[in-house]
A and B are shown apart, each in its own frame.
Chain A
Amino acid sequence: MTDATTGPDHLTGPTPDNALRDADRAEARGGGSGGPGDPVLAADGTPLKQSLNRALRAQKLRALALIAPLLLFILVTFIAPIVDMLFRSVENEIVVETLPRTVAALQDWDYASGEAPDEPAYRAMAFDLMIAAERREHTRVGSRLNYETTGISSLFRKSGRGVDDVGEVYTDQFVELNEAWEEPATWVTLMASEDWQESHSEWVAAGEAAEAADEDFDDLPPRFEVADRIAEILPETAGIYQAFADTIRTEDEESPAEEEPWNVVYQALYDDLSGQLGSAAETYAGPGADLLREAATAVPDFETMTVTDQMIEVDEDWAEPEVWGTIKAFDGPYTSGYFLSSVDLQKTPDGVERQPEGERIYILLFERTLFLSLTIMACCVALGYPVAYLLSNLPMRTSNLLMILVLLPFWTSLLVRTSAWKVLLQQQGVINDVLVWLGIISDGGRLVMINNQFGTIVAMTHILLPFMILPLYSVMKTIPPSYVRAAKSLGATNWTAFWRVYFPQSVPGIGAGCILVFILSIGYYITPELVGGTTGTFISNRIAYHISNSLNWGLAAALGTILLAVVLILYWLYDKIVGIDNVSLG
């Protein structure tokens, strides 16, 4: 693509642009049939400029209509994934979505106080954890927080099992007081709104009818609604009972009329009745009023145990302020945590800190990626320059033949070239065999050339060398030989003529080749993975590891975003130096 030849201003002949310009000129001259200032008219009587503008618009629309399908395709299949990755590198909704009550309860708590939060935070955590455990989401948030503070994953997994027992002490006492508390029906009568009870009985009837007709019935029960009158006097209980009903509806496809509530519901009931609103239960007159009044009177004599103690009984780590601090540090819907991890920092409750000594690997990996890419780039220049020079100075016929030697590797599958190097470089491989046969090394002293940096550098230099030779060649082709001849005839030695006259003219080619090779090499994955071992791997191998092994997608996305930013900056440079349009495909 060169705008120089197809741009609107460079076409001659009847294009709308030229015609518009002509029309402008004609008007300025006072053309047309009337006096000066009258517009020039087209054949159909409309002003010429107007009809030309219309033609121009139609042409633009036609061009866009041709491009639109592909643009849309790329936006959906390619750009959207990249944007998704950028989004994932900061996204952190899982914490606030899974633990909403805890996040709210921790708002006023300060980690710097050095103490674990108060009872409300523990209660909120017990409720959140109970719901999350039933929805099997607690392990996910546990592993998310485990990236930041190790140990949280197992804490959540253990607590997910143990949280069942939180509130049991009150369940027992309520049931002892009146066995009706054990019945799901009691709860439904007490909590449900009339609308819900109505649609629920319709649902039950539909289910029975289907069963009678021997048909499948898998409609979900209607979504539970708490009666307003009870939500006013028992707010906590109403909230958690609603969550309980919703959870068993979506997870087990059950109706709350058939399930005994969780222990934490009893905990909430106790909290409500023993709190300030407890006296309101005395005046309550709705369904289940007698039961509730009885409970409200008995509650002050209940044996008590704080949720804090119950949670610590589940796992003593809940007494650690650090756990709570981590949750508070990652309570926002967005976080810089992944980016901080990518540069060996970490977000702790105390603020941003460096990772502990043994876990600083990313800066090292970035440095190694940079170092290896620069080395590969340098090797490519060293090997590519003489060859490109030779190719551009040989007669056409010979150079075309030799060009095949460059193009064949360029066209050969990457996997083929990598397997070739694997075959050549391994300890029982061809190169070692030849060296042993020549007697340069002993059989016991075979060289280790693979699964280290040497392997990566050799294989990648081979793979990327054509990307250096081709741009160099196309630049060298344009250097007029007469300059060097002129320099020599003015008394320059061969070396001076080359270094002062030829070389500076080939620098754009070196620049183009270097940036191209560098861009390609810093994002390489396959070859380092296969021949790099542990010391010759790149940042991209770490990204792949986080995606498929450690499942820390956020960190993979953050590392990818950094890599992408580097590549885009380099590419912008490449565009400045060579121009995107000059990308040649050999």
Chain B
Amino acid sequence: MSIELPPYASTGQKVWHYAYLVICGLIFFFLIAPILIIIPLSFNAENFFTFTPGMLSFDADAYSLRHYRDFFTNPDWQQALWNSVRIAPVATLISVSLGTLAAVGLSQSHVPFRGAIMAILISPMIVPLIISAAGMYFFYSRIGLQGTYVGVTLAHAALGIPFVIITVTATLVGFDKSLTRASANLGAGPLRTFFKIQMPLILPGVISGGLFAFITSFDEVVVVIFVGSANQQTLPWQMFIGLREQISPTILAVATILVVISIVLLSVVEILRRRSEKLRGMSPG
């Protein structure tokens, strides 16, 4: 079925067809406009969350970088940025290393209790964040990890693991097992086979899993609010506070920076996905 309008379409059909396209356009507008609108607003020279008359008449004086300057000079925001940068990569590293290992194990042909293990491993994705946060808050305060860097990092690593498991096992589905057998046949040990044969082939999956894990940790706010203390205040947490207390449009500058980061990450994942499909011969181009 094609979306093209046949030449013999009646007037009613034409009207319906264009109405449908307009509706779809409006939905796309609904999806994308809120994200785009914060970009110009973040250059506002005033302390407003809306367009000033000056901005609407494209007066250069109405635009400024002051909110960006504020972001890069304000110690609160800098501390938050630093905390985010300190927590997310370490959490990602833990999820990726443990997750890849487990995904390789899970993809073997004989795994006892596979269903149960899989359910446990992806449970952090299923359980609503507020429940994970509550449980972690209770349990981590029992064992003295509440309000510590280690506690937050471990919690974020746990939240990122399902994404690594899912992407890596998906890559391993198309993996040709005879390659590892050939490698073993030619005298390579299991470690060498893993790093020289298996790893390069599943690398795209590992990286995109890692990106998901990174984004999860970098964007996460519920768990960090409960498990962390003021010393672990991350960027999203700072934004959350700002939004609740209506401080300044610096939030919009931060939001714009985050949108740019998402665009970059999205492109990387997309490129990796295509590359992985090409490597595995699943798509011609």
Listed in ascending order, the chain A residues whose CB lies under 8 Å from chain B are 1-3, 5-8, 11, 13, 15-17, 56, 59-60, 62-67, 69-71, 73-75, 77-85, 88, 383, 386-387, 390, 393-394, 402, 404-409, 411-424, 426, 428-430, 433, 462, 465-466, 481, 484-485, 494, 502, 519-520, 522-526, 529-530, 540, 543-544, 547-548, 553, 556-557, 560, 563-564, 567-568, 571, 580, 583, 585
CA distance A530 to B244 in the complex (A): 6
Query: Are A63 and B111 interface neighbours, CB within 8 A?
Result: yes
CA distance A412 to B266 in the complex (A): 9
Query: Are A543 and B105 interface neighbours, CB within 8 A?
Result: no
B45 within 8 A of A: no
Query: Are B131 and A82 interface neighbours, CB within 8 A?
Result: yes
Query: Are A67 and B35 interface neighbours, CB within 8 A?
Result: no
Query: Are A420 and B215 interface neighbours, CB within 8 A?
Result: no
B182 within 8 A of A: no
- Nearest chain A residue, comparing its CB with the CB of B39: A420
Query: Are B27 and A420 interface neighbours, CB within 8 A?
Result: no
- Nearest chain A residue, comparing its CB with the CB of B209: A585
Q: What distance in Å separates the Cβ of B262 from its nearest Cβ neighbour in chain A? A: 4
Query: Are A1 and B118 interface neighbours, CB within 8 A?
Result: yes
Query: Are A462 and B30 interface neighbours, CB within 8 A?
Result: yes
CA distance A418 to B154 in the complex (A): 26
Q: When A63-B111, A423-B41, A530-B240 are in contact, do A70 and B31 touch as well, CB less than 8 Å?
A: no
Query: Are A560 and B35 interface neighbours, CB within 8 A?
Result: no
Find A419's partner among B38, B101, B131 (CB 8 Å cutoff): B38
CA distance A390 to B25 in the complex (A): 10
Question: B-side binding surface: helix, strand, loop or mixed?
Answer: helix
Query: Are A560 and B102 interface neighbours, CB within 8 A?
Result: no
Query: Are A15 and B35 interface neighbours, CB within 8 A?
Result: no
Q: What distance in Å separates the Cβ of B170 from its nearest Cβ neighbour in chain A? A: 7
Query: Are A66 and B104 interface neighbours, CB within 8 A?
Result: yes
Q: When A81-B140, A423-B41 are in contact, do A411 and B265 touch as well, CB less than 8 Å?
A: yes
- Nearest chain B residue, comparing its CB with the CB of A564: B131
- Nearest chain B residue, comparing its CB with the CB of A432: B50
Query: Are A411 and B30 interface neighbours, CB within 8 A?
Result: no
Q: When A74-B158, A413-B255, A414-B219 are in contact, do A405 and B104 touch as well, CB less than 8 Å?
A: no
Query: Are A585 and B31 interface neighbours, CB within 8 A?
Result: no
| Interface core residue of B48, B127, B178 (most chain A CB under 10 Å) | B127
Contacts of B114 in A (CB 8 A): 3
Encoded as 1 (CB less than 8 Å from any A CB) or 0, chain B from 239 to 252 comes to: 11001100000011
| B-side interface residues, number (CB < 8 Å) | 97
Q: What distance in Å separates the Cβ of A484 from its nearest Cβ neighbour in chain B? A: 5
Query: Are A65 and B105 interface neighbours, CB within 8 A?
Result: yes
CA distance A390 to B258 in the complex (A): 29
CA distance A583 to B104 in the complex (A): 19
- A sample of 26 cross-chain residue pairs with beta-carbon separation below 8 angstroms, ordered by A number, consists of A1-B118, A7-B109, A59-B109, A60-B112, A62-B105, A65-B105, A66-B102, A66-B108, A67-B101, A69-B98, A69-B101, A73-B157, A74-B120, A74-B121, A88-B138, A383-B30, A390-B3, A413-B258, A414-B236, A418-B243, A419-B239, A419-B251, A420-B38, A423-B252, A462-B34, A583-B166
Query: Are A563 and B121 interface neighbours, CB within 8 A?
Result: no
CA distance A12 to B165 in the complex (A): 26
Contacts of B92 in A (CB 8 A): none
- Nearest chain A residue, comparing its CB with the CB of B113: A64
Find A15's partner among B109, B118, B259 (CB 8 Å cutoff): B109
Contacts of B3 in A (CB 8 A): 390, 393-394
Q: What distance in Å separates the Cβ of B208 from its nearest Cβ neighbour in chain A? A: 8
CA distance A16 to B109 in the complex (A): 10
Query: Are B2 and A11 interface neighbours, CB within 8 A?
Result: no
Find B135's partner among A56, A84, A417 (CB 8 Å cutoff): A84
Query: Are A525 and B135 interface neighbours, CB within 8 A?
Result: no
CA distance A202 to B110 in the complex (A): 65
CA distance A13 to B185 in the complex (A): 15
Contacts of B157 in A (CB 8 A): 73, 77
Contacts of B20 in A (CB 8 A): 386, 390
Q: What distance in Å separates the Cβ of B194 from its nearest Cβ neighbour in chain A? A: 10
B197 within 8 A of A: no
CA distance A77 to B158 in the complex (A): 7
Find B27's partner among A387, A563, A564 (CB 8 Å cutoff): A387
Find B240's partner among A81, A415, A524 (CB 8 Å cutoff): A415
Q: When A70-B99, A408-B35, A583-B166 are in contact, do A81 and B135 touch as well, CB less than 8 Å?
A: yes
Find B31's partner among A69, A79, A406, A540 (CB 8 Å cutoff): A406
Query: Are B123 and A415 interface neighbours, CB within 8 A?
Result: no
Query: Are B138 and A553 interface neighbours, CB within 8 A?
Result: yes
B71 within 8 A of A: no
Query: Are A405 and B170 interface neighbours, CB within 8 A?
Result: no
Q: What distance in Å separates the Cβ of B99 from its nearest Cβ neighbour in chain A? A: 6
B167 within 8 A of A: yes
Q: What distance in Å separates the Cβ of A159 from its nearest Cβ neighbour in chain B? A: 28
Chain A to chain B: the 4 pairs with minimum beta-carbon distance, closest first: A523-B128, A66-B105, A81-B135, A81-B139
Contacts of B124 in A (CB 8 A): 74, 78
Query: Are A525 and B136 interface neighbours, CB within 8 A?
Result: no
Encoded as 1 (CB less than 8 Å from any A CB) or 0, chain B from 204 to 240 comes to: 0000000010010011011000100000000010011
B106 within 8 A of A: yes
CA distance A526 to B219 in the complex (A): 12
